[in-house]
């Protein structure tokens, strides 16, 4: 399981969606008040679902097609999360309170990138298995 490169990508995606939001803030308000993902229940649920899907995909290593589909669903989930961040950024741009964007807003992009790399590796494995079946 761990010897496959897609497993490494999926572990990194799970860490990116599950542990890094605790470390990096989403934005700062007035330069002092730091906002993490836990301040909004929707962000918490979406990051939790993304982590769960990454780990579930990692554990279903024998079912490559199912793994591929779960990664696609996880990408859609991260796109929704990224869309919510962009919406929040654009909707508060006219406020009198100055807000500074944090690096935590870019974690869904990193997660999507890792999931794309994992899907590429899964596709390579699937093609390899199909080519070996053709030779039998």
**Is 95 a residue whose pLDDT tops 60?**
no
Task: Supply the pLDDT for residue 101.
Answer: 75
Q: How far is CA 69 from CA 18, 50, 53, 85, 89, in A?
A: 20, 13, 10, 25, 30
Ordered by start, the domain boundaries in the chain are 5-129
**Is 98 a residue whose pLDDT tops 70?**
no
Whole-number percent of the chain with pLDDT over 90: 46
Per-residue pLDDT tens for 25-73? 887 777 677 778 888 899 899 999 999 999 999 999 888 899 999 999 9
**102/123 Cα distance (integer angstroms):** 34
């Amino acid at each position: 399981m761990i010897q496959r490169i897609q497993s490494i990508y999926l572990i990194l995606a799970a860490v990116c969606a599950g542990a890094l939001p605790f470390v990096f803030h989403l934005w700062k308000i007035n330069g002092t008040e730091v906002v993490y993902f836990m301040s909004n229940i929707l962000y918490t649920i979406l990051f939790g679902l993304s982590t769960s899907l990454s780990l579930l995909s990692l554990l279903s290593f024998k079912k490559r097609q199912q793994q591929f589909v779960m990664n696609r669903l996880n990408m859609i989930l991260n796109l929704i999360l990224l869309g919510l961040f962009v919406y929040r950024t654009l909707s508060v741009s006219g406020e009198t309170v100055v807000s500074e964007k944090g690096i935590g807003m870019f974690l869904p992009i990193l997660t999507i990138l890792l999931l794309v790399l994992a899907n590429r590796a899964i596709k390579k494995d699937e093609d390899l298995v199909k080519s070996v079946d053709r030779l039998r």
